[in-house]
Chain A
Amino acid sequence: GAVVSQHPSWVICKSGTSVKIECRSLDFQATTMFWYRQFPKQSLMLMATSNEGSKATYEQGVEKDKFLINHASLTLSTLTVTSAHPEDSSFYICSATGRVGYTFGSGTRLTVV
């Protein structure tokens, strides 16, 4: 079956630093990747949609300069949280789509201290 690998699974960083999260489709080509954010006991909120080789499309209210998304290949997308602050602490989840539909990564727990 389709597998999406997301790393790291958890990260703690200091306020003001940047953190990069990777999302890889291991056995299929992901034409589109989605990045979600999930607060405790809440639903998944779509942050942005990225297509390989194109600029990401951000949802309303999401700061594109703070959440940098790169989708340089059909198997890799990265989300960089720049100048992280405690309010950016959350669970970030990627999803990749290809011929097999949507496949989700296992998520990254980001804690900014």
Chain B
Amino acid sequence: QQQVKQSPQSLIVQKGGISIINCAYENTAFDYFPWYQQFPGKGPALLIAIRPDVSEKKEGRFTISFNKSAKQFSLHIMDSQPGDSATYFCAASIGSGNTGKLIFGQGTTLQVKP
């Protein structure tokens, strides 16, 4: 019940296209859902996060869509660029985003072709 399932494992998108990564969870006590971007040899960096009282959040080219009833959330990267090529992780936690431990999805390796 503590798992967060992420798909796809890898994704190849043409420059300018839309990248979509999906996550699903079981524990309804989760109340904070961030997405992280990680480059090789670096720590994860927060991209965008959402709480369950909101169905969508947009920041620049990045959008989170959240479906509370389906217990799913997704990351959309609009106008994907080669610089977006990285590994993306969804995560979930309990504790309003600054206290509980983060449970990570399995990760998605994104390659954006020029």
Residues in A lying within 8 Å of B, measured CB to CB: 6, 31-32, 34, 41-46, 49, 91, 93, 95, 97-107, 109
Contacts and interface: CB of A to CB of B under 8 A. Distances in A.
Contact of A104 (B44, B101, B103, B107): B44
Contact of B98 (A49, A91, A93, A97): A97
B45 interface: yes
Nearest to A103: B46
B42 interface: yes
Contact of A97 (B41, B43, B99, B106): B99
Nearest to A40: B40
Contacts of B42: 106-107
B89 interface: yes
A109 B43 contact: no
A45 B98 CA distance: 18
Nearest to A91: B41
B105 A46 contact: no
B67 to A, nearest CB: 22
- 5 smallest CB-CB distances across A and B, nearest first, come from A104-B43, A107-B43, A106-B43, A43-B104, A44-B104
